[in-house]
Chains A and B, each alone.
Chain A
């Protein structure tokens, strides 16, 4: 049906009466304090379609979906389900209306089986848990929906893609007729994305309404019948057929202006005799005492950018921490610029110019109560010390220099960092770390997380600038596109081991995906 009416707008549609959308919202507005997260949003999803909701971080996508799922309450506006006005006051009400949501951070209990997890979401279970009946029921439903799921498997033994399908199954078995998938592909390997889209396609053919929140255009193109774009809390394109619009136009809608391309010509990394980073056969334990990295061997030349690909949780965090002297090595050795990082002491790495952008800035870099200015001098007190005190004027001029150099539009110096939004916190960290032009090694974990497209691009430019200045750059990312675009080489981590090192241009994303999944097809 979407082929017949790709560009229909709402008024035309209701005039002809051809289809009543499964859900429709009008004039939906949501404020958080002074921030207008959703501004007069009008949007609809039909049964039997996949509707992609595009937008940058902070555009209001998740807010809109949480309004539909009853997590938030709209300040203004109407919601209609199958033409009837409804008041979605809680997720329970949303579920009763047939609206289900799969959150980005999956909400399964790892120590429970698939069946136990799903049965928690189902009504009418009675007091006694009848395992056999529940598992049979799940197997039947899964088969009917074209999923392969073992109800008896423990969730913690499942790969992330499988867990996601369990979550979708859970939502469907609870009676959902519309499923909202919040950034479902962000943690998946390409093969898993294909499997997910296969499942979504099957659900579409069974007449379900599906919403996919994403910021990746090629995915929207691959699966969506219609696309809506949010920017700054407003719908700037509503229900358009993605085939009628090219990428540049779509990005233009998302960002509101053109985003410059990265420089295509880059100096080749020198065959440096002294690598910026040499990781020699390290084995590292994780927080739980298990082996998180096993026998990892990796060198980064000065002026080289090496990407780390992998499904998160495969040793990325431990690698980051080991390299910067934050986590002790069980065996092996690490040198930065030929200086051994002998023991787990971050001061050794800092002293030779090893800096990091942590994966969780709030936990690892942000001090509650301290301002942007104060965060700039956390590590490098030497530069601003004046007797026993601190030369805040000097600190202010240093911050000005950093801001000038990085151009990341950092928040005002007096603002408390902990009170900033995620993207603005990240800008503070990036400004401090990437503005340091004395760094010899930059280890960046998910640097563009939470950033808008323009700032992501600026961040990538800054990483390339460090590389061009002769520093080694280790870029840990979940975004294969980013890795392919920036890296000289890509090392793939799987289950704590280096599954392989490849060069972009010599392999395709599926080959990297194969390594990410441990060599399985």
Chain B
């Protein structure tokens, strides 16, 4: 089902028996130090290269980084903006991390997020004003999770029944999801009072997520997202389901031979992942947008994919990675305003960060084997 692990060394030369017991102790601290050093060098290189590029475009790199810092971490409102961006990134990243435990590559966070948003909007617009605000939000959340989960489930079932690679199917489903969104806002859900704009009517304020006092636009969804990350971490770490996902993801053939229900594990992981992405869509919709429009998700799903790989699919590290990428995204706006660089410039910085991570993971792997 998945790629077979490398064949075992067939001769004693490659795998020497323990002639001498290997003491592991003293070199450990040094390894940690080397590891930290590598990260500093990699991220430093990314920043230097980006600075050089900005300088070539006529911007002052020092001032640029100062502005980026000021726009992100200098005060509570900026911090709120960072958290705002980080929220959907975080959930989209968890949508990658959970299936990754079972050995799946979910590139469909974007589509699952879109469908989650659509489901949340559908439920919210149908119920707001009729139920209490908290009840509407609850229903929206459930609908979004179910929507995102089912959307991902399509890829899961395709994989189990026909063997279609989920990386391909989830990616393609992203485009379908966007088309579903466009269809709804261009036709059935189009706001009659919206001057012909392709957008739904706005969600009533009573059904929107409350803001967190003192942090600008930051809403409760950020706290929910962090809570979910910690919850996912605990579930993967402590439950037998989490353990079995690791077994199935680590070696599906070993899992099958051990009698584990590999198909069910694979499917459940991608269902849960899709549900998390769907929730991310709901949080962004009910916390920020309030109105279904085209481009509502801004490729959050892909940034989440990046965040998950940055964090090597560890939910706790994903919190940090999402905030980092959220900060880069916010700083991108300041690039445009303060340095006169195009907003897309920030994607170069993201790409450089990703390359730094990849270079590092490559090195670590090489050192291990």
Taking beta carbons and an 8 Å cutoff, which residues of A are in contact with B?
A: 32-37, 57-63, 65-66, 71-72, 104-105, 182, 232-233, 324, 326, 346-347, 350, 356, 358, 360-370, 374, 378-379, 381, 385, 388-390, 421-425, 450, 452
The digit string for B1-24, where 1 denotes a CB below 8 A from any CB of A, is 000111111111101111111110
- Contacting residue for A63 out of B5, B16, B244, CB 8 A: B16
A364 touches B253 (CB 8 A): yes
B13 touches A62 (CB 8 A): yes
Which of A33, A72, A363 is the most central at the interface, judged by chain B CB atoms within 10 Å of its CB?
A363
A421 touches B241 (CB 8 A): no
B12 touches A59 (CB 8 A): yes
**Contact stretch, chosen from B255-263, B281-289, B345-353:** B255-263
Chain B residues positioned under 8 Å from A72 (CB to CB):
13
B18 touches A421 (CB 8 A): yes
- Contacting residue for B255 out of A326, A367, A388, A424, CB 8 A: A367
Docked pose: A388 CA to B240 CA in angstroms: 6
Min CB–CB distance B231 → chain A (angstroms):
13
B251 close to chain A: CB less than 8 A: yes
Chain B residues positioned under 8 Å from A358 (CB to CB):
257
B243 close to chain A: CB less than 8 A: yes
Docked pose: A238 CA to B244 CA in angstroms: 51
Min CB–CB distance B92 → chain A (angstroms):
25
In chain A, what residue has the closest Cβ to B237? A389
A62 touches B11 (CB 8 A): yes
Q: How many residues of chain B are within 8 Å of chain A by beta carbon?
A: 37
- Contacting residue for B243 out of A32, A364, A390, CB 8 A: A390
Docked pose: A361 CA to B257 CA in angstroms: 11
Docked pose: A450 CA to B13 CA in angstroms: 11
Query: Known contacts A389-B238, A424-B18: does B8 contact A362 (CB below 8 Å)?
Result: yes
Chain B residues positioned under 8 Å from A369 (CB to CB):
246, 250
Docked pose: A32 CA to B15 CA in angstroms: 9
Query: Known contacts A365-B254, A369-B246: does B19 contact A379 (CB below 8 Å)?
Result: no
30 CB < 8 A contacts A-B:
A34-B23, A35-B16, A37-B13, A37-B16, A58-B12, A59-B12, A59-B17, A60-B13, A62-B12, A63-B12, A104-B11, A105-B10, A182-B11, A232-B19, A326-B257, A347-B259, A358-B257, A365-B258, A367-B254, A368-B5, A378-B254, A378-B258, A385-B240, A388-B239, A389-B239, A390-B239, A422-B15, A424-B18, A425-B8, A450-B12
Chain A residues positioned under 8 Å from B243 (CB to CB):
374, 390
B257 touches A365 (CB 8 A): yes
Chain A residues positioned under 8 Å from B238 (CB to CB):
388-390
B20 touches A360 (CB 8 A): no
Chain B residues positioned under 8 Å from A33 (CB to CB):
22
- Contacting residue for A363 out of B12, B246, B253, CB 8 A: B253
- Contacting residue for A57 out of B17, B23, B258, CB 8 A: B17
Query: Known contacts A104-B10, A367-B254: does B17 contact A424 (CB below 8 Å)?
Result: yes
